[in-house]
């Protein structure tokens, strides 16, 4: 049996070897740098790479005690997050060369737990729809998704075992789906947002990418300070709710076939496996999410909008105009609706341990001028619920597709435990 190169190890596999000192952090970092050197010219996952700094971090870790759950693991940090020792551009030429004074809290937590920050991964412009240069590792003529483009692509291409991302609409789950990796969006409020460019405080969440549920569990444990996520226990057969949502017809034929196969498989293992009777007006959540996001982004980016509009994309300027046209009373009413919906949907989890829903409409679209549609993620982002994307199949064109699992707010450990249970049964 061929021994995999160190960069091919999952984060959880590598973490165990690093903790036992069976491999060194420097060897792990150098393996990832070799892969980056081989592939970065084609994938363009990094906005900034600090190879020398990463090797220095690794050597310091090797010379001292084991630091924490992420000891010696190479990590990519989305370029929406401040970094004291690297440029931070938020995916915009406006901030070219900008050097913050401090790391974002999430990055600092990861460093404290022993992670080796390799560089900043590409974000779309202010984490909206204008794409950066990143390409999909499975087919470079296709988008990797957005806005956490570089993070998803770097993990998918085995450049890194872990990378941080953010989500306001679908910016973790969608690129995870398109790139065929596991993506984890924690419950709203579980991860500190200090040092991350704020877009929509009602929905902004920091999470990340790995190659297995155990991988994102390690990262999640550090981000949320909940070590249960790093030690996912065997769960009893869960109660599964299959939630199509009113936009189900937008899912392509491959996604619908995958869904049906998964439903048949899990029906023989789960404690219960039922189609969810959705609230009749659930479709109202998508326009509500768009309105709340537009209002809050237009105001969060007020300085950029007022002084640098000509240097922003047409897409972003259009969102700014839309958001500024929304009256404050309308937004206040939207926030009240959001709170009411969160309370209303919480009741579903009295009957189900997890909801399963599409992650995306299908495979990564061809072309690099757009990042795909987050329609299957918007409602869950508005509700602030924890979500996991599981890659489980391929489309007819050989591109990854998968399913999104949604859990009860604050019950991230249960969601990840069930996600691991589901993933094992759907990928045997």
270 to each of 209, 238, 358, how far by Cα in Å?
26, 5, 19
Is 290 tagged catalytic?
no
Query: Are 73 and 115 a contacting pair, CB within 8 Å?
Result: yes
Query: Which of 10, 78, 149, 381 is an active site residue?
Result: 78
Burial per residue of 19-50, b for 16 or more beta-carbon CB atoms within 10 angstroms, e otherwise: eeeebbbbebbbbbbebbeebbeebbbbbbbb
CA 408 to CA 414: how far, in whole Å?
9
CA 355 to CA 353: how far, in whole Å?
7
Q: Which residues pair with 244 in a beta bridge?
A: none
Query: Are 136 and 160 a contacting pair, CB within 8 Å?
Result: no
DSSP assignments along 55-77, one per residue:
HHHHHHHHHS---STTTT-EEEE
Query: Are 179 and 399 a contacting pair, CB within 8 Å?
Result: no
How far does the chain reach from its first CA to its final CA, in angstroms?
20
Is 171 tagged catalytic?
yes
Residue 354: exposure state from Cβ atoms within 10 A (0-12, 13-18, ≥19): buried
Query: Which of 83, 154, 171, 200 is an active site residue?
Result: 171
Residues in the chain: 428
> Tokens 């549609």 appear where?
373
Query: Which of 10, 123, 147, 200 is an active site residue?
Result: 147
Q: Which of 10, 383, 404 is nearest to 178 (CA)?
A: 404
**DSSP strands (E only) in 96-177:** 116-121, 162-167
Active-site residues: which are they?
78, 147, 171
């Amino acid at each position: 049996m061929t021994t995999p190169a160190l960069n091919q190890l999952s984060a959880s596999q590598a973490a165990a070897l690093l903790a036992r000192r069976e491999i060194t952090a420097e060897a792990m970092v150098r393996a990832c740098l070799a892969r980056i050197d081989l592939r970065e010219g084609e994938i363009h996952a990094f906005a900034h790479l600090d190879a020398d700094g990463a090797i220095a971090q690794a050597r310091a870790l090797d010379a001292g005690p084991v630091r924490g759950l992420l000891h010696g693991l190479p990590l990519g940090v989305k370029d929406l997050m401040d970094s004291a020792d690297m440029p931070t551009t938020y995916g915009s030429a406006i901030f070219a060369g900008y050097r913050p004074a401090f790391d974002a809290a999430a990055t600092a937590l990861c460093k404290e737990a022993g992670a080796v920050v390799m560089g900043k991964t590409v974000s779309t412009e202010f984490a909206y729809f204008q794409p950066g240069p990143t390409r999909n590792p499975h087919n470079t003529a296709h988008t990797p998704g957005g806005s956490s483009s570089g993070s998803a692509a770097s993990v998918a291409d085995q450049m890194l075992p872990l990378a941080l991302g953010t989500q306001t609409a679908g910016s973790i789950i969608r690129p995870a789906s398109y790139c065929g990796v596991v993506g984890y969006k924690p419950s709203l409020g579980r991860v500190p947002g200090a040092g991350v460019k704020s877009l929509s405080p009602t929905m902004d969440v920091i999470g990340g990418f790995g190659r297995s549920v155990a991988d994102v569990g390690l990262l999640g444990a550090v981000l949320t300070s909940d070590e249960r996520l790093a030690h996912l226990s065997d769960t009893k057969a869960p109660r599964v709710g299959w939630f199509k949502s009113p936009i189900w017809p937008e899912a392509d034929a491959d996604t619908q076939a995958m869904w049906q196969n998964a439903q048949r498989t899990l029906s023989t293992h789960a404690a219960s496996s039922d189609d969810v009777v959705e609230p009749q007006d659930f479709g109202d959540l998508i326009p509500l999410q768009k309105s709340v996001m537009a209002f809050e982004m237009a105001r969060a980016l007020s300085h950029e909008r007022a002084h640098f509009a000509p240097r922003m994309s047409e897409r972003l300027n259009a969102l700014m105009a839309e958001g500024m046209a929304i009256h404050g009373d309308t937004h206040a009413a939207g926030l009240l609706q959001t709170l009411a919906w969160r309370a209303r949907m919480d009741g579903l989890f009295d009957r189900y341990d997890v909801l399963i829903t599409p992650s995306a409409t299908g495979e990564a679209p061809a072309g690099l001028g757009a990042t795909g549609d987050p329609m299957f993620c918007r409602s869950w982002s508005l509700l602030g619920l924890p979500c996991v994307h599981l890659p489980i199949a391929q489309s007819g064109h050989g591109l990854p597709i998968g399913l999104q699992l949604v859990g009860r707010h604050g019950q991230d450990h249960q969601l990840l435990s069930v996600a691991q249970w589901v993933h094992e049964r759907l990928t045997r």
